[in-house]
Amino acid sequence: MSIFTKKRLISFVIPVHNEQEGLSDFLEHKFFPVTKKLKDYRTEYIFVNDGSTDSTLKIVQDYAAKDKNIKVISFSRNFGKEIALAAGYRFAKGDAVISIDADGQQPPNLIPEFIKKWNEGAEVVTGVRDHYTKHGFIAKIGSKFFYKLLRKMGNEYTVPGSTDYRLIDRVVIDEYNKLTEHNRITRGLIDWLGFKQTNIYYIYGSRMAGKTSYNFSKLFHLALDSFVSMSTTPLMILGHLGAFIMLGSFLLGMFCIINQYILGDPLQLYWDGAVQMTIFITFLVGIILVAQAITALYISHIHAETQGRPLYIIDKKSSRNL
Ligand code: UDP
Ligand code: MG
């Protein structure tokens, strides 16, 4: 390489939320030892402090004080990891951007492999976790089901087990940064963007310290949100269900009329008006309730988008080197 061609820049985006226990250990012993060896590239590090309430902010600020290539975006409160990634991606200046968790579950020693795939022409390299290392039966079944549904709903690119350990080329980042939705699941959106994508499979480790911020209910809501924001299939399913129930009740009603009023109840069911009413009302109430729930979900999303709020709020005082 001639001295006149500038080395390409790689940006690392690391969302952090209450990671004080393992963060320094992760950076010193796992992460920096790998990234400091990338001699053919310039590097920048963007920590997105997502409303930590422990000393995480202080830790990353101390790093930033020593190195101007270490940047800290500090949110005014917790906005969630998807939004933290969005902020990091917007600030990243790199020719490629690599996002990685700060808890050590995504092994940094694969970073050179991500870069290699990028140099071979891939524009998105996604880290896909080995399924069988997943902790917990429910989590396993849940994520299997989640990806099945995601695919059914038209996101055929999303490979089961895809994680946010990912390299993205500048062209894709520029497109990603144009997306404005608030309800977002980064994986789904990146896949939706297209471009040349490839995967790297890895064993998902266990946390170095601390505990996950995603419990079952948080994951469930994330999954639900991503379905609603990525597709209208739930509405279609509802339509089918409604049609099915209506047809069913129509047939039952016809049966009732014919059996009772035309044939004189040969089956001796003695269904009186109250029973008939109950059949119909139960069905109709069912349809209405489900329809209402789904419609409400969509309206809540429309509501959030039309508010036009910024995705996140940065606390400039505690941010560094931006
Ligand atoms: N994280 C974040 N905001 C949150 C929750 C988590 O920025 O509200 C960060 C967290 O510090 C970590 C990464 O996102 O670097 C993954 O979080 P976690 O390990 O809790 O999720 P899991 O590995 O269980 O999917
Ligand atoms: Mg984790």
**DSSP secondary structure of 32-96:** HHHHTT-TTEEEEEEEEE-S-SSTHHHHHHHHHHH-TTEEEEEBSS---HHHHHHHHHHH---SE
pLDDT the model gives residue 247: 80
pLDDT the model gives residue 75: 96
Q: Measure the CA–CA gap between 131 and 140, rounded to whole angstroms.
A: 8
Domain locations along the chain? 8-213, 233-306
pLDDT the model gives residue 151: 65
| Low-confidence spans in the chain with pLDDT less than 70 | 1-3, 131-139, 150-158, 229-233, 235
pLDDT the model gives residue 276: 81
Pocket of ligand 1 from Cβ distances under 6 Å: 15-17, 19, 50, 78, 80-81, 84, 101-103, 105, 212-214
pLDDT the model gives residue 179: 87
pLDDT the model gives residue 166: 95
Q: What's 8-213's CATH class?
A: alpha beta
Q: Which residues pair with 46 in a beta bridge?
A: 13, 71
Give the global pTM: 0.74
Q: Is 298 exposed, middle or buried (0-12, 13-18, 19+ CB in 10 A)?
A: middle
Q: Measure the CA–CA gap between 41 and 116, rounded to whole angstroms.
A: 12
Name the closest ligand to CA 26.
1
Q: Whose CA is nearest to atom 2 of ligand 1?
A: 81
Average pLDDT of every residue of the chain? 85
Q: Which atom of ligand 1 is nearest to the CA of 105?
A: 23
pLDDT the model gives residue 131: 64
Q: Is 123 exposed, middle or buried (0-12, 13-18, 19+ CB in 10 A)?
A: buried
Q: Measure the CA–CA gap between 182 and 312, rounded to whole angstroms.
A: 9
pLDDT the model gives residue 3: 64
Q: Which two tokens stand for residue 239?
A: 């339509």
CA end-to-end span of the chain = 29
Name the nearest CA neighbour of 219 among 310, 106, 135: 135
